[in-house]
Structure 1
Amino acid sequence: MGRKALPKLNPEVDFSNHFFTADVLEQKPELPSYFAKEQPLEIEVGTGKGLFMKTASGENPEHNFLGIEIAFKYARFAGYKLAKEGRTNAVMFHGDGQKIFPQYVKDGSLEAVHVYFPDPWWKARHHRRRLMNETFCREIERALRVGGKLHFWTDVLDYFEMAVETLHAHTKLAGPNPVEETPAEHDLDYRTHFERRMRKNDMDVFRSQFVKTA
């Protein structure tokens, strides 16, 4: 189940308008300014190789999508794929979502936040490093508009239960609402590459949706 090496990038593809490092936000902090037009904004934190970003931005052209990935090579590759697809409603940032949210994501500005298969930090002494901690859960709640949604999926039951408990204890987001698994119609018909790997190996995926009601 090891990860394959990323394909080589075509040097003729210009993805300078689809991939940014977080430091550019210091000079250009307004997130809507990175898109062709202002539309409802969704953010994915931890995009991996960008399957969700590519699929969602293609299926929902009336929304803008901003991806944040802490691994440079994956953020860059995801931005490259968006450029290849000609997306004008999706961009990638290399950076730490836990730093970008409090500095640059405005209150009530998001239609949705997507967190799929974040690093579980298996060792108990490392659990404090998990993305779905008290501080970041509150950041998600702050950033969502009323009616906005958090989508959180993981393959780790312990992490799922911890995240749900944290959201209940420290936010007023309603949930978790169940999310049913849908049959894949083709090899890329999954939310992320990681979901595809889990399902093809008959491993459990724990899915949830939360809604900001007030």
Structure 2
Amino acid sequence: MGRPILRKIDPALDLSRCFSELDSLRRPWNAVSVFGRNAPLEVEVGTGKGMFLRKAAAGTPDVDFLGIEISLKYAKYAAAGLAKAELTNAAVIHGDALRFFAEWLPDLSVDAVHIYFPDPWWKKRHRKRRVMRESLVRDIFRVLLPGGRLHFWTDVAEYFHESLAIVAGCASLEGPMPVPEKPAETDMDFRTHFERRVRLQGGTIYRSEFRKP
């Protein structure tokens, strides 16, 4: 499925608090410098239009949420949604999530990592571009606090099983634990826009959750 055309961002919105460029960040990255407090931190890899960030931040104000999005227009769109909703416990970084995990995130700094519907890179010669790879999984294990969670969902069965094998082979995470599908109570009661599209079209979603001992 291709990405839909985005609505224009209101130029009056101030994105300075909730949007930043990866290469402008200090190392190691410090959540207090962004959110102004010490709170549990959850990171989403591939923020897309930002539905997960907005809903999660609004629903759990005692937790801070950080999205990493490689597409500039989507990163700004997601940040604009946060600014419009006046959510101060979520922000978006434009850049490569693999670099952010490897070079910026300190050990034992994250309570949960969310990876929902990453690009499957269908062609065999492009598989090396998949975000679910050994290096990222090792970094996820490194940055997760004990008891921290990794959530991974996709609508591609082959990618799902390949990813489970990668996690099992390079990180001592408990799981995969099954994640039951929750009935949607409203037209927008989904975790991401992509989940909404797949489910409304009758597609299958493969969900997993892992826990760091």
Please say whether Structure 1 and Structure 2 have the same fold, judged by a TM-score greater than 0.5. Answer: yes
Q: Aligned-pair distance for 1:210?
A: 0.2
Match of 2:172 in 1: 172
Asked if 1:50 is matched to 2:66, the reply is no
Structure 1 residue 88 displacement after superposition: 0.9
Contact 1:117 1:194 in 2 (8 A): yes
Q: Distance in 2 between matches of 1:119 and 1:113?
A: 17
Aligned 8 A contact 1:31 1:104 in 2 = no
2: distance between equivalents of 1:40 and 1:108? 11
What is the one-letter code of the residue matched to 2:111?
E
Partner SS state of residue 8, structure 1: coil
One-letter amino acid matched to 1:174: E
* Cα distance in 1 for residues equivalent to 2:154 and 2:27: 35
SS at match of 1:55: helix
Match of 1:12 in 2: 12
Structure 1 residue 31, shift from structure 2 partner: 3.1
Following TM superposition, the consecutive aligned residue runs of length 4 or more in structure 1 with deviations greater than 4 angstroms are none
Match of 1:62 in 2: 62
In structure 1, what is the Cα distance between the partners aligned to 2:89 and 2:50? 14
The answer to whether the 8 A contact 2:28-2:105 is kept is no
Identity %: 48
Count matched residues: 213
CA contact (8 A) 1:36 1:89 kept: no
What are the Cα deviations for residues 35-70 of structure 1, in whole angstroms up to 9, with x where unaligned? 132211000000100000000001110110000000
- Residue 143 of structure 1 pairs with residue 143 of structure 2: yes
CA positional deviation for 1:26: 3.5
Where 2:92 maps in the other structure, the secondary structure is: strand
**Which secondary structure state, in structure 2, belongs to the residue aligned with residue 91 of structure 1?**
strand
Alignment of 1:176-191 (within 5 A): 176-191=176-191
Q: Does the Cα contact within 8 Å between 1:109 and 1:143 map onto a contact in 2?
A: yes
Task: With the length of structure 2 as denominator, give the TM-score of the two structures.
Answer: 0.96
CA distance, structure 1, for counterparts of residue 32 and residue 49 of structure 2: 23
> Aligned partners of 2:163 and 2:15: how far apart in 1?
35
Is residue 39 of structure 2 the alignment partner of residue 39 of structure 1?
Answer: yes
Tell me how far apart the structure 2 counterparts of residues 192 and 17 of structure 1 sit (CA, whole Å): 23
Structure 1 contact 178–209 (Cα < 8 Å) conserved: yes
Q: Deviations over 1:70-104 (max 9, x none)?
A: 00000000001001111111000000000011111
The code of the aligned residue for 2:152 comes to F
Structure 1: give runs of 5+ residues left out of the alignment. none
2:72·2:94 contact (CA, 8 Å) conserved in 1? yes
Separation in structure 1 between the aligned mates of residue 192 and residue 164 of structure 2, nearest angstrom = 21
**Structure 2 unaligned runs (5+)?**
none
Aligned position for 1:110 = 110
Aligned partners of 1:42 and 1:110 also within 8 Å: yes
**Matching residue of 1:157:** 157
- 1:101 aligns with 101
